[in-house]
Structure 1
Amino acid sequence: MSALAHTFSDSVVITRRNLIKVKRVPDLIVFATLSPIMFVLLFRYVFGGAIGGLPDGISYAEFLLPGIFAQTVVFGSTTTGASIAEDLQKGLVDRFRSLPMSRSAVLIGRTVADLGLNAISILVMALTGLLVGWRITSSPLEAAAGFLVLLVFAFAVSWMMALVGLLVRTPEVVNNASFIVIFPLTFVANTFVPLETFPSVLRTFAEWNPVSSVVQAARELFGNQPASAPVPDAWSLQHPALYTLIWAAVILAVFVPLAVRAYLRTATR
């Protein structure tokens, strides 16, 4: 068996192991989905009436849901780092090291399994969104592309979090460190309010923030961006899907080898 086929086979086994763990501990998926549902309901019914500046012909539910999708998959990707740190604490990595398996399979299996959890979270949010007035008005192919852009970016962020989990090695610190970085990234963006309401400096940052491009791409692909909406000034928001994929490719190119190298150093201690 070639090295690539060996890695693929081992990665499938580790992915199954991580998904079976979720099945046996359903609290993981329950709490992973409760948070986005709470955000949808809070912003839709508590804050939605106070947020203005939306383009004509769009409801706040249609504006909000793509932003909630993006925030949820980015926060959901932090699970990768916390899970890896937990495996290190419990000595599970040492057990994997004793087996004749591909070293990178542990990281691949972890990130792919978390991608599956993010997909489930998006499904739950989409159903919740339909109940509060959100609708997809584009074609099925465009809608599928919108979900794909969200998941590709989430997968890239998972590899960043994998490196954090290998370097920090305690789940609590991983969660705290991730929150400090990701929280402002998801809020200093077009996630919940139009960028026109931002001060000039923050608006420039938000326009080039990849979270904004993820949200913008999802809105356009779901048909939640009316023709009457003003054309964004920044190239990143004029071509949001392309900009998002560029960011995802750069993140993967940088953090996949760094994470694998960190894992190998950890495994040889």
Structure 2
Amino acid sequence: MIPAAFEYYRPKDMAGVLAILEEHGDDARVMAGGHSLIPMMKLRMADVPHLIDLQDVGGLSEVTITDESIRLGAMITQTDIINHDGLKTAAPILQEAALQIADPQVRNMGTVGGNVANGDPGNDMPGLMQCLDASFTLIGADGERDVPAREFYEAAYMTARDDEEVLTAVTIPMPKGGYAYEKQKRKIGDYATAAAAVQIVKDGDTCIAASVAMTNLSDTPIFSEAAGAALVGTTLDDAAIKAAMDAMLDDIDPTEDNRGPIAFKKHVAGVILRRAIERAWSRA
């Protein structure tokens, strides 16, 4: 549990971060909270000759809320989300999800940017951000660009972020309607066996918009457009919910591991999704 030797950098601004990335290329990695990267380094699953810590870079820990959107700096911690009064009002699903991440020690250091950037399919925020149709701001030597969360994840630990880019912010359209983040895990601090993020808007007794995303059931988070579409235009009777569950099951591709066999994971996914849909509907 001892990492290989590495050079440690703690630049004061983004220009310093980008200069180190440009100099060392694939040999350099950026660290936000470190809860994913440091364990991988200790297990020698990641070789990082040059480690860049973002803790001292200014401008990455701000929350901006407008009528249209929410912008989270990449270094906002899960605890920051939980304790932020404005976010509790504007997007309570963020707090609901953050409270289910690991334990208080992890949440005190774990960041939004780190959670979404490294492409771990077990992380909670990637699926949530897909559900909320968020976008990620990336900065590199060629400037700044925004990538939709639904297009960011390519495979396990592989994303649309180039090696010399840094994820600096997450922007979320102002959430509407009812919401829920449901998660099943074996024990406190574990990754999800299955988790579901759901957002539902209704008009009277009819669902007019729905968004569904699942966590840790494939090598990327899964935004299931078909599952959301199965709910739209319905009163969310049992047949509609069952159709959404079936559509989601067609989209996921779980593998057997120490959290259970494939059939078990699919069963849990269906149970968790039903709970999330019903709770989101009750809040819509």
TM-score > 0.5, shorter chain as reference: no
Q: Structure 1-normalised TM-score?
A: 0.29
Structure with more helix by fraction = 1
Structure with more strand by fraction = 2
